[in-house]
Amino acid sequence: MLPDAASSVEGALPLEPASASFVDSRLIGRIALLAAAAFGYAVILAPLIFVCWLSFFSNEIVTFPPSGYTLRWFARIFDQNNFVSGFATSLQVGVAATIGGLLLGIPASLTLARRRFPGREALNTLLVLPLVVPGIVAGTAIYVFQIEIEIATELPLLGSRAGLVLAHIMITIPWTVRLLTASIAGFDRSIEEAALNLGATPLQAFLKATLPVIKPGIVAAALFSFVISFGNLEMTLFLVAPGQTTLPIAILQYLEWRIDPTIAAVSLLQIVLIAGGMLIADRYVKLTRVL
């Protein structure tokens, strides 16, 4: 840019663009949009951030502003039998539900994605229904169902670990199937045929050609299932046996007779666990594609 070019030339154009007011209004629009987005984020994240912050406050009775910070609430978690056993149960149920969900979900998505058969659309809808049923309704219904089965068959289903895992599989299957189907949709079937042509039996073709390609979908489905199962409260409330507890239930029970930052500490740990799971899952399958 030539210095002072405009001022030394007669009849020169002004240096500001003629559409100055237009640029201004575009800028105002951008700022307004950003402000609205920031407000939305604030409303959603403020409680979470506050809880996390609270877990470090040193006073047992929460005052604001805090008089100091400490880590002792995290240590207290491990003194509480309920939290420890609740975490163990949630972990076990989560893993079992994830594995069960995958064993059912992988063949289901492969079939749904590839074959046309009568009732395909109905099956698709059926597999999504658990998302629509409110947790308490599901919990009550399954509870009653388990009672009936136990009466009819003498199987000790009520309050059993197996019964709980089955119920958790039911709520994670919709996610498993959706994530897997999204992953399979981009999969070229002729890859399997190529494997067969080169001498692989159908099982070998599945293990060596199909599975490695849909692996990202499987990982994402597994992580997401685990997260859903771990965090479930309303349905699980109905299905745990007396004395048995999961982490969300333990948190709820603690809150009934005490409010101190221990609860915030447990929540922070759970948030970290779940957020970590979602972030890792997102690396394998873009969750925005599915949600």
Partner 1 sequence: MARLQLSGLTKTYGDFHAVAGIDLDIAQGELVVMLGPSGCGKTTTLRMVAGFVPPTAGRIRLGGHDITKRPSWRRNTGLVFQSYALFPHLTAAENVGFGLRMRKLSQATIAAKVAEALRLVRLEGLADRLPRELSGGQQQRVALARALVIAPDVLLLDEPLSNLDAKLRAEVRVEIRELQRKLGLTTIMVTHDQEEALTMADRLVVMSHGKVQQIGSQRDLYEHPANTFVAGFVGRTNFLRGRVESPGLFRSQSGLAIRCSKAAPSAGGTLALRPERLSMAPAVSAADNAFPGTVEFASYLGGILEYYVRLTPQDRLLVQVPNRVGDPLHEVGDRVFLQWPAQASLVLADDGGSTS
Residue 153 or 190 with smaller CB distance to partner 1: 190
Tokens of 145: 């169902």
Residue 192 or 229 with smaller CB distance to partner 1: 192
CB of 103 to partner 1, least distance (A): 23
Residue 147 or 185 with smaller CB distance to partner 1: 185
- Please answer whether residues 164 and 198 qualify as being in contact, where contact means their C-beta atoms are separated by less than 8 angstroms: no
CB of 291 to partner 1, least distance (A): 26
> Residue 187: left (phi > 0), alpha (psi -120 to 50), or beta?
beta
Alpha-carbon span 127 to 174, nearest angstrom: 5
Tokens of 15: 């240096």
CB of 115 to partner 1, least distance (A): 15
Cα-based angle 253, 256, 262 (whole degrees, multiple of 5) = 75
Alpha-carbon span 64 to 163, nearest angstrom: 44
Alpha-carbon span 71 to 55, nearest angstrom: 8
CB of 206 to partner 1, least distance (A): 12
Residue 107 or 202 with smaller CB distance to partner 1: 202
Alpha-carbon span 272 to 270, nearest angstrom: 5
Alpha-carbon span 165 to 232, nearest angstrom: 12
CB of 106 to partner 1, least distance (A): 17
CB of 191 to partner 1, least distance (A): 5
Q: Is the peptide bond preceding residue 216 cis, with omega within 30 degrees of 0?
A: no
CB of 204 to partner 1, least distance (A): 7
Which segments of the chain does DSSP mark as H helices, in order?
5-8, 20-54, 72-79, 81-114, 120-128, 135-153, 161-185, 190-197, 202-205, 211-231, 234-239, 247-257, 261-284
Residue 19 or 201 with smaller CB distance to partner 1: 201
Report the interface residues with partner 1, using CB under 8 A.
188, 190-191, 193-202, 204-205, 208-209, 212-213
- Please answer whether residues 114 and 189 qualify as being in contact, where contact means their C-beta atoms are separated by less than 8 angstroms: yes
- Please answer whether residues 179 and 221 qualify as being in contact, where contact means their C-beta atoms are separated by less than 8 angstroms: yes
Residue 18 or 203 with smaller CB distance to partner 1: 203
Residue 6 or 198 with smaller CB distance to partner 1: 198
CB of 211 to partner 1, least distance (A): 10
Residue 167 or 205 with smaller CB distance to partner 1: 205
